Amino acid sequence: MDTTVTIAGQTFDHCLMNAAGVMCMSEEELTQVAQSSATTFVTKTATLEARNGNQEPRYFDFAANSINSMGLPNYGLAYYLDFLASEPEELQSRRFLSIAPLQPDELPILLRCISVANFRGFVELNLSCPNVPGKPQIGYDFEQTNRLLATAFSLYDAPLGVKLPPYFDMVHFDCMAEILNRYPLAFINSINSIGNGIVLNGNQMAIHPKNGFGGIGGAVIKATALANVHAFYQRLHPSIKIIGTGGVTCGRDVYEHILCGAHLVQVGTALHQEGVGIFQRLQQELHTEMKLNNVHSFDALRGKVMYI
Predicted confidence (pLDDT) per residue in 94-119, tens digit: 999 999 999 999 999 999 999 999 99
Catalytic annotation, residues: 129
Q: What is the CATH number of the domain that holds 25?
A: 3.20.20.70
Confidence of residue 74 (pLDDT cuts 50, 70, 90): very high
- In a domain? residue 214: no
- In a domain? residue 155: yes
- In a domain? residue 115: yes
Amino acid code (one letter) for 151: T
**Alpha-carbon span 258 to 264, nearest angstrom:** 8
* DSSP H or E run through 123: strand 122-126
What integer pLDDT is reported at residue 199 of this predicted model? 99
Of all residues in the chain, what percent carry a pLDDT higher than 90? 97
pLDDT over threshold 90, residue 78? yes
pLDDT over threshold 70, residue 70? yes
* DSSP H or E run through 161: strand 160-164
The total of structural domains in the chain comes to: 1
- In a domain? residue 250: yes
What integer pLDDT is reported at residue 129 of this predicted model? 76
Q: What is the mean pLDDT of the chain?
A: 97
Confidence of residue 130 (pLDDT cuts 50, 70, 90): low
What integer pLDDT is reported at residue 134 of this predicted model? 67
- In a domain? residue 229: yes
Q: What contacts 183, CB < 8 A, 6 or more positions away?
A: 149, 150, 152, 153
Q: Is 16 helix (H, G, I), strand (E, B) or coil?
A: strand
Rounded average pLDDT over 228-247: 99
Show the domain range for 295.
Answer: 5-54+71-194+219-301
Of all residues in the chain, what percent carry a pLDDT higher than 70? 98
- In a domain? residue 145: yes
**Alpha-carbon span 135 to 132, nearest angstrom:** 5
Q: What is the pTM of this model?
A: 0.98
Rounded average pLDDT over 270-288: 99
The 10s digit of each residue's pLDDT in 150-203 is 999 999 999 999 999 999 999 999 999 999 999 999 999 999 999 999 999 999
- In a domain? residue 106: yes
pLDDT over threshold 70, residue 38? yes
Rounded average pLDDT over 39-43: 99
Rounded average pLDDT over 64-84: 98
- In a domain? residue 44: yes
The 10s digit of each residue's pLDDT in 176-189 is 999 999 999 999 99
Confidence of residue 133 (pLDDT cuts 50, 70, 90): low
pLDDT over threshold 70, residue 131? no
Confidence of residue 136 (pLDDT cuts 50, 70, 90): confident
Among residues 62, 57, 55, 67, which one has the least CA distance to residue 21? Answer: 67
